[in-house]
Amino acid sequence: MRRLLGIDLAITADNRACIMEETGRVIVERRFGRTRGELEDLLAVATDGLGQGDELVVVMEPTANAWVAPAALFSSRGAVVHLVPPEQSADLRRYYTKHVKNDRIDAKLLARIPLLHPEGLHPVSLPVGARGTLRRVVTRRARLSAECARHRGRIRSLLQLAMPAMPAALGDELGKGALAVLGRYGDPRSLIRLGRARLTQVLIKATRGAWRSERAEQILAAARDGVQLWQGLEGCDFAEVAEDLAAEVRLIRAIESELRELDARAAGLLDEIDPAGLHRSMPGFGERTATTVAGRLGDPSRFSGAPKVRSFAGVIPGTNQSGESESRPHLTKSGDHVLRHALFLAAETARRLDPQLAAIYHRQVLERGNHHTKAVCAVATALASRLVAVLMQERAYEIRDTDGTPVDAAAARAIIAARFTVPPEIRAARRQPRSAQRMKGRPVHGVRSKTSPSSPPVDEASEVDATRVLVGVDLP
């Protein structure tokens, strides 16, 4: 016999619990807090009357970190704990009660999910030890990286106001040289007074000689254009803009300092989790990507195989089927977005290092007519499958030719250049139109028309190629 316990966790209010039988009959509903005593009382009520071999199934949503303590307690007492994505429970709630939402209904709905959608439930994996710490570290690092990108976007916006030509002179990345200039000389008049010689010295020191007098002249030209643009006009106070730029630069430097500390901490945790360096052996996996994937994926043994990992990362295609027609228009993107982004970036690099992955990309673009992003997604899907094989077999990744022959890095690059290079005209023909162009219905040169044959499923090639000779045996 199974007994079902649905828990709706709250942050500022009391939690709600609903205990029901396997038939769906509600036994009791109650409120409870987050103290150890109240959790013990709830567990006692939920298990009252259960005999030998009976099972308590607990279902809850991952509300902030409030779920960790209840999950740890119930799991330690033999209960099976499941976490349900909020989107899934919200869809079911709208079906049952379209116009009403409250904590009582949420708890009851969570208790019924094992009856309504049992195949969508997976036992929870508690973030413990070094793996749990690494997960928190990479999550905070991802959040700070996104915040740093927003500050850089704010700098570009300010430069477009005061000196429209300056972003081109400083570069899109706004690296150390750009921050050194904008942190002290955000006013174009200050740059002009600084002069070419002294600005060159600032750039040489900040970039270790990468930027010199030529870049200084470009920056000064952009500053002069900005002064000329606003001469005699109102709407731009150079001094105030310079203060805003300096503040943004200080924030970026503070965040980057924190990111460096997190990188070092994550690298130490990865050494503890993966002393054999299996994650780092993957093509396209640098230090940051390896720690991100290890932190977000967690213990690989909790997955039954590569398909589960691909589903967890969201690198599987959605399906739109009606009658005899079926299409897979895009990835579901329903998994861990940080892990998916890391796999995508790794795939972009790995296709230039591994002939087998390069063959997948080449086939997706040339034979199947897919654009660059979709082809890289197919490579990311294959890369996720290969990562599972490496971790399960506990053997470092080996770069091989398409026939399975091991090759070194130089030979792999030569093979890719000779056999899997996409011609520029083909790449242009596969390029997607921009969102604005699609919204306006404008024809775009090089984009396939609607009369062209539709693309096949994004994972059609990767499902086959990912299981080829990898480290000695096929994938599970």
Q: What is the DSSP string of 19-67?
A: EEETTS-EEEEEEE-SSHHHHHHHHHHHHTT--TT-EEEEEE---TTTT
Q: What is the pLDDT of residue 187?
A: 96
In this structure, of 16-20, 118-122, 178-182, 447-451, the range with the lowest mean pLDDT score is 447-451
Q: What is the pLDDT of residue 370?
A: 86
What number is the average pLDDT over the span 309-322? 77
Answer with the residue of higher pLDDT: 89 or 52: 52
| 266 phi, psi to nearest 5 deg | -65, -40
What number is the average pLDDT over the span 221-225? 96
- CATH number of the domain at 2-120, please? 3.30.420.140
Report which of 84, 111, 102 is spatially closest to residue 27, judged by C-alpha positions. Answer: 111
In this structure, of 23-27, 57-61, 83-87, 100-104, the range with the lowest mean pLDDT score is 100-104
The answer on pLDDT for 346 being more than 90 is yes
What fold does the segment set 132-265 form as a domain? Answer: Helix Hairpins (1.10.287)
* Mean pLDDT value across the chain: 86
Q: What is the pLDDT of residue 230?
A: 95
Rg of the chain taking only CA atoms, in angstroms: 28
Q: What is the pLDDT of residue 389?
A: 92
In this structure, of 117-126, 218-227, 379-388, 464-473, the range with the lowest mean pLDDT score is 464-473
Q: How confident is the model at residue 170 (pLDDT cuts 50, 70, 90)?
A: very high
Answer with the residue of higher pLDDT: 115 or 134: 134
All CATH 3.30.420.140 domain ranges of the chain, comma separated, are: 2-120
Residue matched to tokens 């509600």: 26
- pLDDT tens, residue by residue, 393-402: 999 999 999 9
Percent above pLDDT 90 for the chain: 60
Are 17 and 25 in contact by the 8 Å Cβ rule? The answer is no
Q: How confident is the model at residue 122 (pLDDT cuts 50, 70, 90)?
A: confident
Q: What is the pLDDT of residue 466?
A: 40
Secondary structure (3-state) at 374: helix
Q: Which two tokens stand for residue 98?
A: 């379209």
Answer with the residue of higher pLDDT: 344 or 323: 344
Q: What is the pLDDT of residue 65?
A: 83
What number is the average pLDDT over the span 183-195? 95
Answer with the residue of higher pLDDT: 208 or 466: 208
Q: What is the pLDDT of residue 39?
A: 93
Report which of 85, 125, 137, 378 is spatially closest to residue 266, judged by C-alpha positions. Answer: 137
Q: What angle do CA 288, 290, 296 make, to 5 degrees?
A: 100
Secondary structure (3-state) at 405: coil
The answer on pLDDT for 463 being more than 90 is no
The answer on pLDDT for 114 being more than 50 is yes
The beta strands (E) that lie in 55-103 are given as: 55-60, 80-83
The answer on pLDDT for 444 being more than 60 is no
All CATH 1.10.287 domain ranges of the chain, comma separated, are: 132-265
Q: How confident is the model at residue 440 (pLDDT cuts 50, 70, 90)?
A: low
- pLDDT tens, residue by residue, 260-285: 999 999 999 999 999 999 999 999 99
Residue matched to tokens 């691909």: 310
